[in-house]
């Protein structure tokens, strides 16, 4: 049975999954990169960007690999796709990731503004969905077939899907960083009442990885 | 130089350090005991309660030991001292801990209502302070001499001292538990702006222990 998953999502000790003031220069918000140190050193991350090396097979790389594995479709919030706000002025913005994005499947972008699908290299096609999170999930499920669907982010998108009870599994990387300010992942959400419990936990030098699943 | 410390303070994955609905039967609030599993199995905890056995010398016991070591005075919020609210009806309530509390030093209880000092067995004397957190800290510093002062809790008391910039060091035990609801330790506090950074981190099967200190 395919699952709707959040994976590879970092959370600071003070509960933030992105910094403040996201911009073209700071896609993860100010100091946002500090919460992804566990990911950057892995072979999985480097391979995604056409680089060699990195740590192979340790705790971080295992979770990094599974955070990108077995997905048949992705869903992204518009801020995760880019810094453009309001109606699309043109088709120039094609995501943060260059001509060959790391998704390699149909990828659904939540937006209030229509735009034609955008076919990229490597199998990624961005579809722009104006009908809301349930419509996007229906489209993603059809596209994914027997594979899982990943809610890729950002924070607001993950929170909306959690609150709607539409997520089956989360992998969070709890990192020893104090962001101080940012976008809180769990504030005001009751994951216990939503049926989640913690089913796996492993620590590395960089993060404590936790898997949360519905009972 | 003596330090003002918080130590052995548990935080759930969703940021809570106590459950809801604290009462005589639930001193830590509903499900509050779940966040202290890392502590209960240690030799330090058992010794505090006159029991033998427990884990000696592992990561949890090391942090448990240092969370009770080298203190010359404690400060407790009134809810940490007991479930009685409003003016003290009599002197019958003497804390949650029986005749020999685990403090063994002068221990200052924040309250709005006057009460005579209460001398217990084993060196603990409870002093009831009506002048606020700064007065309590001044009294505790005088009592502690060259030793540290521990802000023992509860959550609201720790938050007040943090916000006032009066805490030098925190040891938090981040535990794989989803309380769902409770008293949030850090929500709305900017520990980065307050000057804290994470200086130590060690994981056990029960918790990831983190030490936060002012630079």
Q: Specify the pLDDT at position B33.
A: 93
Is the pLDDT reported for residue A48 higher than 90? Answer: no
Q: Name A171's bridge partners.
A: A211
Q: Considering only alpha carbons, which residue of chain A is nearest residue B178?
A: A192
Q: Which of B178, B186, B203 sits opposite A208 (nearest CB)?
A: B203
* Residue ranges covered by each domain of chain B: 4-214
Work out the angle between the directed axes of helices A133-144 and A155-163 (0-180°, nearest 10).
90
Q: Rounded to an integer, what is the distance from CA A215 to the centroid of its chain?
A: 23
Q: Span A39-68, mean pLDDT?
A: 93
What is the H or E stretch that residue A37 is in? Answer: helix A37-40
Q: Considering only alpha carbons, which residue of chain B is nearest residue A200?
A: B176
The Cα–Cα gap between A74 and A141 comes to: 10
Q: Span B65-84, mean pLDDT?
A: 94
Is the pLDDT reported for residue A23 higher than 90? Answer: no
Out of A47-51, A160-164, B200-204, pick the least confident.
A47-51
Q: Which of A14, A189, A190 sits opposite B186 (nearest CB)?
A: A14
What is the H or E stretch that residue A125 is in? Answer: strand A125-129
Here the contacts of A123-128 (C-beta below 8 Å, separation 24 or greater) are A124/A100, A126/A81, A126/A94, A126/A95
Q: Span B16-21, mean pLDDT?
A: 92
The Cα–Cα gap between A155 and A179 comes to: 15
Is the pLDDT reported for residue B24 higher than 90? Answer: no
Nearest one of A161, A117, A136, A120 to A9, comparing CA atoms: A161
The Cα–Cα gap between B196 and A179 comes to: 10
The Cα–Cα gap between A195 and A203 comes to: 24
Q: Do B189 and A15 touch (CB under 8 A)?
A: no
Is residue B13 within 8 Å of A174, Cβ to Cβ? yes
Q: Span A177-188, mean pLDDT?
A: 96
ipTM of the complex: 0.92
Q: Rounded to an integer, what is the distance from CA A106 to the centroid of its chain?
A: 15
Q: Specify the pLDDT at position A202.
A: 98
Q: Specify the pLDDT at position B101.
A: 94
Nearest one of A177, A178, A174 to A203, comparing CA atoms: A174
Q: Which of B179, B181, B192 sits opposite A180 (nearest CB)?
A: B192
Is residue B46 within 8 Å of B211, Cβ to Cβ? no
Q: Which of A177, A181, A186 sits opposite B15 (nearest CB)?
A: A186
Q: Specify the pLDDT at position A27.
A: 83
| Cα→Cα distances A122→A34, A40, A64, A80, A104, Å | 29, 22, 20, 19, 5
Q: Span A199-215, mean pLDDT?
A: 97
Q: How confident is the model at residue A26 (pLDDT cuts 50, 70, 90)?
A: confident
Q: Which two tokens stand for residue B79?
A: 């809810």
Q: Which two tokens stand for residue A101?
A: 């994005």
Is the pLDDT reported for residue A39 higher than 90? Answer: yes
Contacts of B193 in chain A (CB under 8 A): 180-181
**Percentage of the residues of chain A whose pLDDT score is greater than 70:** 100
pLDDT in tens, B140-199: 999 999 999 999 999 999 999 999 999 999 999 999 999 999 999 999 999 999 999 999
Q: How confident is the model at residue B55 (pLDDT cuts 50, 70, 90)?
A: very high
Q: Specify the pLDDT at position A22.
A: 85
Q: Name A75's bridge partners.
A: A108, A151
The nearest CA of chain B is from the CA of A147 a distance in Å of: 28
| Cα→Cα distances B190→A13, A25, B194, Å | 11, 24, 6
CATH number of the domain located at residue range(s) B4-214 in this protein: 3.40.430.10
Q: How confident is the model at residue B15 (pLDDT cuts 50, 70, 90)?
A: very high
The nearest CA of chain B is from the CA of A207 a distance in Å of: 10
Q: Specify the pLDDT at position A137.
A: 98
Is residue B199 within 8 Å of B36, Cβ to Cβ? no
Contacts of B210 in chain A (CB under 8 A): 13, 176
DSSP state of A9: E
Other Cβ atoms less than 10 A from the Cβ of B58: the count is 17
The Cα–Cα gap between B62 and A11 comes to: 26
Q: Considering only alpha carbons, which residue of chain B is nearest residue A203?
A: B203
The Cα–Cα gap between B26 and A192 comes to: 19
| Cα→Cα distances A20→A28, A180, B163, Å | 8, 10, 21
Best interface-test mutation with B: which of A11, A12, A13, A209 has the largest number of B CBs within 10 A? A13
Sheet with A71-76, side-by-side order of all strands: A118-119, A125-129, A106-110, A71-76, A148-153, A4-12, A169-175, A208-214, A196-203
Q: Do B192 and A208 touch (CB under 8 A)?
A: no
Is the pLDDT reported for residue B62 higher than 90? Answer: yes
Contacts of A19 in chain B (CB under 8 A): none
**Percentage of the residues of chain A whose pLDDT score is greater than 90:** 88
Q: Span B51-60, mean pLDDT?
A: 93
Q: Which two tokens stand for residue A9?
A: 């999502």
Q: How confident is the model at residue B215 (pLDDT cuts 50, 70, 90)?
A: confident
Contacts of A175 in chain B (CB under 8 A): none
Q: Specify the pLDDT at position B202.
A: 98
pLDDT in tens, B102-150: 999 999 999 999 999 999 999 999 999 999 999 999 999 999 999 999 9
Is the pLDDT reported for residue A103 higher than 90? Answer: yes
Q: Specify the pLDDT at position B165.
A: 97
The Cα–Cα gap between A212 and A209 comes to: 10
> Domain A4-84+100-199 has what CATH class?
alpha beta
């Amino acid at each position: 049975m395919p699952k709707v998953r959040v994976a590879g999502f970092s959370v600071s000790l003070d509960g933030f999954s992105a910094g403040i003031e996201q911009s073209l220069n700071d896609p993860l918000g100010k100091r946002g990169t500090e919460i992804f140190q566990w990911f950057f050193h892995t072979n999985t991350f480097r391979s995604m960007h056409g680089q060699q090396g990195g740590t192979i097979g340790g705790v971080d790389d295992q979770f990094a690999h599974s955070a990108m594995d077995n997905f048949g479709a992705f869903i992204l919030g518009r801020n995760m796709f880019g810094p453009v706000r309001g109606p699309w002025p043109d088709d120039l913005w094609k995501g943060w990731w260059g001509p060959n994005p790391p998704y390699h499947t149909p990828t659904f972008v939540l937006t209030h503004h229509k735009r034609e699908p955008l076919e990229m290299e490597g199998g990624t096609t961005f579809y722009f969905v104006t009908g809301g999170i349930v419509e996007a999930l229906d489209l993603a499920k059809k596209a994914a077939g027997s594979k899982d669907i990943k809610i890729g982010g950002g924070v607001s998108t993950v929170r909306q899907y959690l609150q709607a009870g539409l997520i089956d599994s989360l992998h969070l990387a709890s990192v020893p960083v104090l962001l101080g300010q940012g976008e809180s992942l769990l504030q005001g959400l009751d994951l216990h009442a939503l049926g989640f419990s913690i089913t796996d936990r492993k620590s590395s030098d960089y993060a404590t990885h936790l898997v949360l699943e519905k009972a």
